[in-house]
Amino acid sequence: MAITPRMESPKPLAAPGAFSSHLRRIIGLANIPLLATIAALSGYGLLVVGSAIAGSPEYSFRRQTMGIVIGVVLLLIFWRVDYRRFSAWFAPLLVLDIILIISPLLPFIGVTINGARSWVNIFDQQLQPGELAKLVTIVMMAALVSRYGGRIPTVKDYLRCLLILFIPIVLIMLQPDLGTGMVLFAIGAAILFAGGADWKWLVLTLLALVALILLAFFIDPLLDQAAGHDVFLKQYQKNRLLVFMDEDLDPSGVGYNVQQAKIAIGSGGLFGKGLGLGTQSGLGFLPEAPTDFIFCVLAEELGFVGCLGLILLYAALIGLSIWAALRSEEFFGSLAIIGILGMWVFQILENIGMSCGLMPITGIPLPFVSYGSSFMVVNFMALGLILSVWSHRSTRPS
Amino acid sequence: MDTVTLAILLGVGIFIACLVILVSLLRLRARKQESQALKKSFGRHHIPEGVGIHDVRKAKVHETIRRREGKGRFYLFAALVAGIFGVLLARLWSIQLLSGDTYMKLAEQNMTSDVSIPATRGRLLDRKGRELVGNRPSMTVAAARSVLEDRNIIHRLSLVLGIPVGVLRRALLDDTVGAQSDRILAQDASMRSISYIREHPGLFAGVTVEERTVRSYSYGTAAAHLLGYIGPVTETDLLVPNENIAYESGDYIGKSGAELAFESLLQGIRGTRTYRVDVDGNPTALLSEVPPVNGSDVCLTIDLDLQRRTDRILSDVITSSRERGFEHANAGAIIVLDLADGGVRAMSSYPGFRPEEFTNGISQDLWDQMNSTDSGYPLTNRAIAGLYPAASTYKVFSGLAGQKYGIIKEDTHFTCNGIWTEYGEAWGQRCWVYPGGHGSLNFEEAINQSCDIYFYNVGASFYERWSGEDIDEDRRENPLQSCLKSWGFGSPCGIDLPGEMDGRVPDAAWKKQTFADTPEDARWQPGDMTSLCIGQGDLLVTPLQLVNGYAGIAREKMLVPHVFDKVIDGKGETVIAYAPEESPVQPSFDAAHIARVKDGLKRMAARSGRFDHLPVAAASKTGTAEVISAKAETVWFVAYAPFEKPEYCVVCVIEQGGEGSSSAQLGVEYTFAALYGVDLGEIIVSEGSRER
């Protein structure tokens, strides 16, 4: 960093007190297209969730809306905060990350749902600290990697980053929450990639990981046999992989979800059956419709056109965020944005991919759309961070 | 190409395209920014103290290069995202737009459930439209197999239905029906027990009460063999594709007789009710209904009154034979053929069975019993599947062959001394009159007297002329057999009932093949030929073949016998009618030859005295067959009447019916009496032994 002479910000464009100039300043700080995209996306998501949960008393539209409202408040707070101060907080963030991830394993507050200890119960509200841990991991990794200023010099440094990344990943796998673990990995991969890790190291890491997975597959049955019960992979995880490899497997048993999801998407056709008129979701053939399979509801009720709309909104969100990352003077800000995008893109790919049979099934929510307020709040905080980066960009006159 | 591959290829394509565009844009931009930045920094003179312009310039260039490299990865990231979105969109395109219709149908199927409505099976009627086989409603109590687990329910059912607990358990354990199907516990349950079960659904969980249609046989055992029976469709039945009917497990189909022969007419076509169902499969609304098409009513050529009469006559004749000392008389058949079109007016086979036993699937015990040696095989329709030597009844056919090939001429006489020693004293063959003799007789008298020796001579002539030892093996011929086959022997008559047997007309080739393992027995001998001429030896005929052959003589033309008359619709109008069919092979003969045969038959009928009470003259022939395995002779009587314009031909065969043919004659006599409305009273049998 030493050789980079600090660019001095130019003077304010207009004298303080002038209303018009104040407005222009706010407009300049706010990324209007990004805000519009966020508004459209959360509105669209709310519409689909509203249709998906209609008539199901176990879901609450109000709670979902409250998630957005709290999210917007947190967005404003994060926007106001100068994100740059986070870059010095690497160690506290790591500690916070670990506390968040192990909190569901603690007695009294930890809650087990569907066999996974992923929830905590605070003031009668069930929260998933794992969702917040995603954001903490993003900021922590960005703080770590940005120190190298765009090029990780040695293998030792690279391995150090990798090691720190694997702390939250390994901990979250203990819950067990394979899905969030994979998201954390995607976040780390995006930050290391953009942070200037050598191509060769990245490729080697990926190969090592693939080898590790294959080895696990190979050893898993032997371990199961030796131990007499499932060690690594649970039976349902094995089934999901089997279904992924053969999509016509047992359509009334383990392949039911995949089959019904594809029927829901496919029967949507070009324009869909109309909002609230989906038969697959409305009549209950589609399991977990408002959460994991929310995309199927959208695809069934709004058709290919609706899917295209969602994907275009996502593309706009990601494009504008990358634009903000490129405009950031601070490398830390750029990396944080890339980490956030890594999280979103992976979740979009996995969620839509599993719905249409391109990916194995994992319970990962679709950003801004899936029912569930923990992840919604985290998403808005992440947006606040992006807006903060945008606001603190170099206001170089053009 | 697989849509997944397509989607990935498309995504990769988009990725590469984005990459190229972004990289070129980046280059352009970077170059512009670089020059602008340099220009600005120099222009504004923002150079710190002590730093030379050269150093600043170097530092700026360095920074720009580094930033460019760092930003490249951001653009790469953007391109990767574009590729991912491309893959997803391509996949969605493929699922939603290319396969949309398929998935739409699957979604529809999810929501709807088809319930088939069984079609009522068509009835079988007699030629006058009287019901032989119909349907009747029956209150049925059925239960799921899981009821086995609740002893209380079984005990309650036992009390209500009056069926022992053990029997109910056995019915529930029945594995011949599908695992999901309900087991039938009681048919024709009383209204009292039905209402009790209906009013207490809580006490009878898993028990269902429904009105089913069951096959009803109004006249019990009447024409049982001809009508046949039905049974639940089996897996083997389901394997055989039927062009008209899609069977479902649990359907009942014809298994034998007319029920099987006219299955495609009787079955009808199932209807379908389509319901909207919820996710648990509970129907919520009726969407559409395709009503079933009931099976057609089929009229048979049978005359119900006559059929019931011949059934009774046959049973009485056999009983009376037994009472007259032929205690082994145990089986027989009577066929009445309408000469006009070959229609079967009555067809009785003894012993019989009750088709009703089969309607709900016959029990294994009963089935085993019906197929045991002791039972006399009641399921066999002896009229079309019983095989016997034709005995003397066959002399008319060998006589026709003899005339055709010039062995019997108008004045041909043979002398009967009671024993025939043409092939040496050791091989002497007796006439049935032995130790007496018929003396010298012509053909008509030989038929009338049924002289064996006359026909031995005919057989010997056939042998010497066409298959003797002194003829080269490859020049030997079978004119006798060919002629016999042209009268319908040795192959099925083609009646429209399943299970008709071929019979057998033996010849040298048959014998060679059959006795291939014992060459000393495989040679075609003169004795084979002489035995064949008197209807013995290896000859086998079915009663239907014999009556069909005599019908051919009577009408001088061979027709295919049949039981199908017509199909009628609900209003009784004929939809499909039978068209008489000539046999594919017709015998050739001179009118004079057949006249001589008929003359012989007429004399025989007159001599028998069996037709004296009839208003018309008849022609008839007796037969007494020696069956090696039997304890007594099998007896035949076949006749047609009126002699001048024949209307009916009747055959009666009684297995082990005794010497002479009196019992078979009795059967035919009473049958003709019934045909011509002559009251002979009942056949005298002791009251206790008469079977119902």
- Considering only CA atoms, which of B118, B107, B367, B419 is closest in space to residue A300? B107
| Residues of chain A above pLDDT 90, percent | 21
Cβ proximity of B547 and B488 under 8 Å: no
Q: Do A325 and B279 touch (CB under 8 A)?
A: no
Residue with tokens 């045991």: B372
- Label residue A157 exposed, middle or buried (CB < 10 Å: 0-12, 13-18, 19+): middle
Taking the CA of residue A148 and the nearest CA in chain B, the distance in Å comes to 12
Residues of chain B in contact with residue A338, where contact means CB-CB under 8 angstroms, are: 74, 77
- Considering only CA atoms, which of A72, A90, A244, A223 is closest in space to residue A167? A90
Taking the CA of residue A278 and the nearest CA in chain B, the distance in Å comes to 10
Q: What pLDDT shows up at residue B437?
A: 84
Q: Do A308 and B279 touch (CB under 8 A)?
A: no
Write out pLDDT tens, residues A23-79: 666 666 677 888 899 999 999 999 998 888 887 778 888 888 988 999 999 998 988
Would you state the torsion angle of the CA atoms of residues B507, B509, B513, B516, taken in this order, to the nearest 10 degrees? 100
Measured distance CA(A356)–CA(A258) in Å, rounded: 8
Domain boundaries, chain A: 32-197+305-391
Q: What pLDDT shows up at residue A17?
A: 53
Per-residue pLDDT for A111 more than 80? no
Taking the CA of residue B114 and the nearest CA in chain A, the distance in Å comes to 18
Q: Do B278 and A283 touch (CB under 8 A)?
A: yes
Dig out the tokens for B430 from the structure: 């007796």
Please give, one letter per residue, the 3-state secondary structure of B75-127.
HHHHHHHHHHHHHHHHHHHHHHHHCHHHHHHHHHHHHEEEEEECCCCCCEECC
Contact residues, chain B to chain A, C-beta under 8 Å? 4, 7, 46, 48, 56, 59, 62-63, 66-67, 69-71, 73-74, 77-78, 80-82, 84-85, 87-89, 91-93, 95-97, 99-100, 102-104, 106-107, 110-111, 278-279
Q: What pLDDT shows up at residue B323?
A: 84
Confidence of residue B311 (pLDDT cuts 50, 70, 90): very high
Cβ proximity of B88 and A356 under 8 Å: yes
Cβ proximity of A141 and A164 under 8 Å: yes
Backbone angles phi, psi at B120, to 5 degrees: -70, 135
Per-residue pLDDT for B6 more than 70? no
The mean of the pLDDT values for chain B is: 83
Cβ proximity of A314 and A163 under 8 Å: no
- Considering only CA atoms, which of A377, A320, A375, A381 is closest in space to residue A75? A381
DSSP class per residue in B636-674? EEEEEE-SSS--EEEEEEEET--STTHHHHHHHHHHHHH
The mean of the pLDDT values for chain A is: 82
The residue count for chain B: 692
Measured distance CA(A277)–CA(A94) in Å, rounded: 46
Count the neighbouring beta carbons within 10 Å of the beta carbon of residue B337. Answer: 28
Which residues are within 8 A (CB) of A229 and not within 5 positions of it... i.e. 6 or more apart? none
Confidence of residue A2 (pLDDT cuts 50, 70, 90): very low
Backbone angles phi, psi at A180, to 5 degrees: -65, -35
Write out pLDDT tens, residues B429-473: 888 887 888 888 888 888 888 888 999 999 999 998 888 878 887
Average pLDDT, integer, range B263-279: 82
Confidence of residue A313 (pLDDT cuts 50, 70, 90): very high
In angstroms, how far is the first alpha carbon of chain B from the final one?
74
Taking the CA of residue A105 and the nearest CA in chain B, the distance in Å comes to 35
Taking the CA of residue A82 and the nearest CA in chain B, the distance in Å comes to 23
Residues of chain A in contact with residue B91, where contact means CB-CB under 8 angstroms, are: 353, 356-358
Question: Between the CA of residue B629 and those of A290, B377, B379, B625, B635, what are the distances in Å?
Answer: 83, 16, 21, 12, 15
Dig out the tokens for B332 from the structure: 């027989």
Measured distance CA(A112)–CA(A129) in Å, rounded: 13
Q: Do B278 and A284 touch (CB under 8 A)?
A: yes
Average pLDDT, integer, range A382-394: 85
Write out pLDDT tens, residues A321-355: 988 888 887 888 889 999 999 999 999 999 999 88
Q: What pLDDT shows up at residue B385?
A: 92
Entry pTM: 0.62
Average pLDDT, integer, range B602-606: 90
Q: Do A304 and B91 touch (CB under 8 A)?
A: no
Output the CA angle B685-B686-B688, nearest 5 degrees: 125
Question: Regarding predicted confidence, which is higher, A216 or B488?
Answer: B488
Domain boundaries, chain B: 3-98, 134-219, 304-364+388-685
Count the neighbouring beta carbons within 10 Å of the beta carbon of residue B164. Answer: 10
Distance of CA B219 to the CA centre of its chain: 23
Cβ proximity of B459 and B526 under 8 Å: yes
Average pLDDT, integer, range B677-689: 71
Residue with tokens 């219709």: B101
Cβ proximity of B619 and B601 under 8 Å: yes
Cβ proximity of B183 and B174 under 8 Å: yes
- Label residue B22 exposed, middle or buried (CB < 10 Å: 0-12, 13-18, 19+): middle
Question: Regarding predicted confidence, which is higher, B631 or B555?
Answer: B555
Taking the CA of residue B230 and the nearest CA in chain A, the distance in Å comes to 36
Which of A185-189, A247-251, A291-295, A315-319 has the weakest average pLDDT?
A: A247-251
Nearest to B100 among A266, A319, A345 (CB): A266
Cβ proximity of B208 and B143 under 8 Å: yes
CATH number of B304-364+388-685: 3.40.50.720, 3.40.710.10, 1.10.260.40, 1.10.10.10?
Answer: 3.40.710.10
Measured distance CA(A29)–CA(A37) in Å, rounded: 16
Interface test with A, best of B56, B88, B277 (most A CBs within 10 A): B88
Cβ proximity of A292 and A370 under 8 Å: yes
Measured distance CA(B578)–CA(B565) in Å, rounded: 5
Identity of residue B225? H
- Considering only CA atoms, which of B149, B135, B343 is closest in space to residue B252? B135
Taking the CA of residue B132 and the nearest CA in chain A, the distance in Å comes to 48
- Considering only CA atoms, which of A343, A362, A342 is closest in space to residue A352? A362
Cβ proximity of B122 and B265 under 8 Å: yes
Interface test with B, best of A263, A307, A366 (most B CBs within 10 A): A263
Confidence of residue A12 (pLDDT cuts 50, 70, 90): very low
> Which range is most confident: A142-146, A169-173, B345-349, B631-635?
B345-349
**Residue A120, H or E segment:** strand A116-122
**Among chain B residues, CA nearest to A337:** B74
Interface test with A, best of B63, B95, B112, B277 (most A CBs within 10 A): B95
> Which range is most confident: A257-271, B204-218, B552-566?
B552-566
Average pLDDT, integer, range B8-30: 72
Average pLDDT, integer, range A159-177: 86
Measured distance CA(B393)–CA(B384) in Å, rounded: 17
Measured distance CA(B504)–CA(B491) in Å, rounded: 7
Taking the CA of residue A15 and the nearest CA in chain B, the distance in Å comes to 22
Per-residue pLDDT for B399 more than 70? yes
**Among chain A residues, CA nearest to B51:** A5
Which superfamily, per CATH, for B134-219? Penicillin-binding protein 2a (Domain 2) (3.90.1310.10)
Which residues are within 8 A (CB) of B386 and not within 5 positions of it... i.e. 6 or more apart? B331, B333, B349, B380, B501, B542, B543, B653, B655
Which residues are within 8 A (CB) of A150 and not within 5 positions of it... i.e. 6 or more apart? A195, A196, A331, B66, B67, B69, B70
Radius of gyration of the CA atoms of chain A, in A: 22
Residues of chain B in contact with residue A277, where contact means CB-CB under 8 angstroms, are: none
Backbone angles phi, psi at A157, to 5 degrees: -65, -45
Cis peptide before B351 (omega within 30 of 0): yes
Which of A299-308, B18-27, B584-593 has the weakest average pLDDT?
A: B18-27
CA atoms within 13 A on the CB side of B572: 6
Write out pLDDT tens, residues B42-99: 555 555 555 555 665 555 555 554 555 567 888 888 989 999 999 899 888 888 888 8
Q: Helix (H, G, I), strand (E, B), or coil: what is residue B508? A: helix
Q: What pLDDT shows up at residue B49?
A: 55
Cβ proximity of B332 and B382 under 8 Å: yes
Per-residue pLDDT for B300 more than 90? yes
Measured distance CA(B502)–CA(B544) in Å, rounded: 11
Measured distance CA(B129)–CA(B339) in Å, rounded: 21
Cβ proximity of B514 and B526 under 8 Å: no
Cis peptide before B435 (omega within 30 of 0): yes
Write out pLDDT tens, residues A131-153: 888 999 999 999 888 888 778 88
Interface test with A, best of B32, B68, B81, B280 (most A CBs within 10 A): B81
Backbone angles phi, psi at B491, to 5 degrees: -150, 160
Write out pLDDT tens, residues B349-395: 988 888 888 876 677 778 888 888 878 888 899 999 999 999 889 99
Cβ proximity of B322 and B315 under 8 Å: no
| Residues of chain B above pLDDT 90, percent | 26
Which of B63-72, B135-144, B303-312, B510-519 has the weakest average pLDDT?
A: B63-72
Measured distance CA(B314)–CA(B333) in Å, rounded: 7
- Considering only CA atoms, which of B458, B448, B450 is closest in space to residue B413? B458
Measured distance CA(A109)–CA(A126) in Å, rounded: 9
Average pLDDT, integer, range B237-254: 72
Distance of CA A156 to the CA centre of its chain: 29
Report DSSP state, residue B381: -
Q: Do A265 and B92 touch (CB under 8 A)?
A: yes
**Residue B592, H or E segment:** helix B591-608
Output the CA angle B554-B558-B561, nearest 5 degrees: 100
Residues of chain B in contact with residue A360, where contact means CB-CB under 8 angstroms, are: none
Confidence of residue A6 (pLDDT cuts 50, 70, 90): very low
Between strands B297-300 and B124-125, the pairing is parallel
Cβ proximity of A110 and A104 under 8 Å: yes
Q: Where are the alpha helices (DSSP H) in B350-478?
A: 364-370, 382-385, 395-404, 443-449, 452-462
Per-residue pLDDT for B127 more than 60? yes
